[in-house]
């Protein structure tokens, strides 16, 4: 006869709630499926503009949270992520680096971090550092959304 949520009684007398639960279950499963693809794609990316396009794809696929959302004073200073431009992505403020936009960091592709007290390879470029910052920011958030969706699916939709 199926689970308590899927039994005939609930389908007949609680059809609206049953449909909402099924829709939510599909949404959560979509997050899990899509997140895995984004995790693989992000792990291989080493270019800021490509990360920007992946960010837009993540948002457009329905994976959304506050950390990767628009914020007038944050990293992504736009009204809508789908319209996000390189000039609106502010990276840096790590390892003593200033905060700049993607076009500014692209000018620093060859600039090495040099001697530092953070234990970072002095031969790494500042561009590589901010690329790592953006990639890790997206990766952590996609993984968190996937984990949350998996937990909700495991617990079952109430």
Beta strands in the chain (DSSP E): 90-92, 99-101
Count of other CB atoms within 10 angstroms of residue 58? 22
CA distance 9 to 27: 24
On whether the CB atoms of residues 69 and 87 are closer than 8 A, the answer is: no
Q: What are 79-129's pLDDT values in tens digits?
A: 999 999 999 999 999 988 999 999 999 998 998 988 787 888 889 999 999
Q: Has residue 112 been placed in a domain? A: yes
Task: Report the 10 Å Cβ neighbour count for 2.
Answer: 9
What pLDDT, on a 0 to 100 scale, did the predictor assign at position 141?
Answer: 97
Q: Report the alpha-carbon distance of residue 59 to residue 36 in Å, rounded.
A: 14
Q: Give CA–CA dist 97/132, Å, rounded.
A: 13
Number of domains in the chain: 1
Q: Which residue has the higher pLDDT, 156 or 136?
A: 136
Tokens representing 20? 């909402």
Can you give the residue range of the structural domain that contains 71? Answer: 8-155
**52 touches 102 (CB < 8 A):** yes
Q: What is the pLDDT of residue 155?
A: 86
Q: Which are the contacts of 90, defined by CB distance < 8 A and separation ≥ 6?
A: 74, 75, 76, 77, 99, 100, 101
89: in domain: yes
Tell me: the pLDDT tens digits for 32-78?
999 999 999 999 999 999 999 999 999 999 999 999 999 999 999 99
Residue 15 lies in a domain: yes
Inside any domain, residue 3? no
Q: Does the residue 149 lie in any domain?
A: yes
Does residue 22 lie within any of the structural domains? yes
Q: Is residue 2 part of a domain?
A: no
């Amino acid at each position: 006869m199926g689970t308590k949520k899927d039994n005939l009684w609930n389908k007949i007398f609680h059809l609206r709630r049953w449909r909402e639960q099924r829709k939510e279950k599909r949404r959560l499963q979509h997050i899990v499926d899509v997140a895995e693809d984004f995790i693989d794609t992000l792990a291989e990316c080493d270019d800021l503009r490509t990360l920007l396009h992946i960010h837009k794809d993540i948002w457009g696929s329905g994976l959304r949270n506050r950390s990767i959302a628009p914020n007038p004073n944050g990293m992504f200073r736009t009204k809508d992520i789908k319209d996000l431009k390189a000039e609106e992505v502010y990276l840096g403020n790590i390892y003593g680096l200033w905060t700049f936009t993607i076009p500014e960091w692209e000018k620093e592709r060859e600039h090495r971090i040099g001697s530092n007290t953070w234990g970072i390879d002095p031969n790494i470029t500042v561009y590589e550092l901010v690329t790592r910052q953006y990639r890790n920011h997206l990766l952590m958030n996609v993984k968190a959304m996937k984990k949350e969706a998996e937990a909700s699916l495991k617990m079952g939709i109430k």
